[in-house]
Structure 1
Amino acid sequence: MDLQLTGSRVLVTGGTRGIGRAIVETFVDEGAVVEFCARNAAEIEATEKALAGRAGRATGVQLDVADGPALTGWVAAAADRMGGIDAVVANVSALAVPDTEENWKASFDVDLMHTVRLAQAALPHLEASSNGSIVAISSVSGREADFASGPYGTMKTAIVGYISGLAFQLAGRGVRANVVSPGNTYFDDGFWQGAEKGMPDLFSMALGLNPTGRMGRPEEMARAVVFLSSPVSSFTTGTNLVVDGALTRGIQL
């Protein structure tokens, strides 16, 4: 299927590792022009080199998304460089699971408010596009209570609520807004690889809950994001697409 993304101008937050890296890579392979941000300059350079020579192109900017003015400034500058914006993906998470006041603040600033600020800053450019799209990354921990309930899970729930309202508000303005909620996703230097080594009981429990017998891969999450961002998904807005291998059992009404 041709996702009709050749030449599309896309912003992705947190594009050097895990799901974010896979999202950037999938957009580039579809011919999109991508700007991504991350905090580590060396990882940005490595990602740019790894994705060079593909159908599209990817360029990275060093940025901490918890810095509101820096984030909104990046959106404006990227729009100037690319001549507009067609899609944005709010991917970054603080991954702040333990129930501490510091983690509540980090989760609010990084998970929720970076999503809000990215959407708000990009909106004028998305309205000018023929395919304006916002996709935010939540989690199955935002859909049901689990070990990550607390700062992480609560903000992931808030993201779904925010995007649902945004989809309704923007439907008549030609901009779509959707959520992808990944299940447990395993990748190098990710949370679950760390748990496998440092918290084997938690890892075994989580792995055992999934009827597929495995965890997800970043590229499986990325494909859902890129599809929802594409013109092929032009009548899909306000949805929360759960990609979890039947990990969650609740019926989503």
Structure 2
Amino acid sequence: MDLGLKGLRAVVSGGTKGIGRAIVETLMREGADVAFCARSEKDVAAAEENLRSTGGRAFGRSLDIADPEALKAWIAQAASDLGGIDIVVANVSALAIGADETSWKQSFETDMMGCVRMVEAAKPFLEASKAAAIVSISSVSGREIDFAAGPYGAFKAALIHYTQGLAYQLAGKGIRANTVSPGNTYFEGGVWNQIKDGNPELYKTALALNPTGRMGTPQEMANAVVFLASPAASFITGTNLVVDGALTRGVQF
């Protein structure tokens, strides 16, 4: 299937590792130009060089997504580099699961407001696009109580509500908005890789919960994100797509 992404322009937060990196690579394989960000300047430079070696247009920038001014400046620069913005993918998370106040503040500023500010900064460019799409990355922890109950799960749930609200509010302007909720996703250097090494009992328990007998891959999550971001999904808006290998059992109506 031709997703219709050739020549479109996307911005992706958290684009150097894991799901975010897979999203960037998949968008580029489909012909989109991409601007991405991450905290580590070294990782951004390495990713940008690697991505450009494939022949596509990739623009990386190092910033803290929780810094409002830095985020706004990045979106403006990305729009200038790309010649506009058609797709916004809000992917960054503080991954805060502690019950302390600092964890709550980190999740609010990064997971929630990082997405809100990213969308608001990009909105004028999306309004000028003929294929505008927003995809926010939530989690199965946003719809079920699990070990990440607390700030992580609470704000992932809030992202689903926020994004569905955007879908309704922006439909008249031709801007679609959807959420993807990944299940447990394993990759080298990722959270579940760290848990496997540092807390093997938790890893074993989590793995046993999935009837497929495995965790998902970044590419499997990216496939869902890129489809929803593409013109091939032109009449899909306001949905939360769960990609979890039947991990969760709640029925979505």
Alignment of 1:177-192 (within 5 A): 177-192=177-192
In the superposition, the TM-score normalised over structure 2's length comes to: 0.98
Alignment of 1:67-146 (within 5 A): 67-146=67-146
In the superposition, the TM-score normalised over structure 1's length comes to: 0.98
CA shift digits 1:91-120 (9 cap, x unpaired):
000000111111000000000000000111
Determine the C-alpha separation between the residues in 2 that align with 1:140 and 1:4: 29
Deviates more, 1:68-77 or 1:128-137: 68-77
Q: Which amino acid letter does the alignment assign opposite residue 9 of structure 1?
A: R
Report the CA distance between 1:55 and its aligned residue.
5.6
Q: Which amino acid letter does the alignment assign opposite residue 139 of structure 2?
A: S
* Residue aligning to 1:235: 235
Secondary structure of the structure 2 residue equivalent to 1:46: helix
Contact 2:136 2:180 in 1 (8 A): yes
Report the CA distance between 1:56 and its aligned residue.
2.9
Report the CA distance between 1:53 and its aligned residue.
3.7
RMSD across aligned positions (CA)? 0.9
Matched-pair identity in %: 61
Unpaired runs of 5+ residues, structure 1, are none
The alignment status of 1:175 with 2:175, answered yes or no, reads yes
The alignment status of 1:245 with 2:245, answered yes or no, reads yes
Determine the C-alpha separation between the residues in 2 that align with 1:196 and 1:81: 40
Determine the C-alpha separation between the residues in 1 that align with 2:37 and 2:225: 17
Contact 1:31 1:57 in 2 (8 A): no
How many aligned positions are there? Answer: 253
Q: Which amino acid letter does the alignment assign opposite residue 71 of structure 1?
A: L
Determine the C-alpha separation between the residues in 2 that align with 1:125 and 1:51: 24
Determine the C-alpha separation between the residues in 2 that align with 1:55 and 1:173: 33
Determine the C-alpha separation between the residues in 2 that align with 1:223 and 1:47: 20
Report the CA distance between 1:183 and its aligned residue.
0.1
Determine the C-alpha separation between the residues in 2 that align with 1:127 and 1:22: 26
Report the CA distance between 1:44 and its aligned residue.
1.0
Runs of 4+ aligned residues of structure 1 deviating over 6 Å after TM superposition are: none
Unpaired runs of 5+ residues, structure 2, are none
Secondary structure of the structure 1 residue equivalent to 2:52: coil
Secondary structure of the structure 2 residue equivalent to 1:11: strand
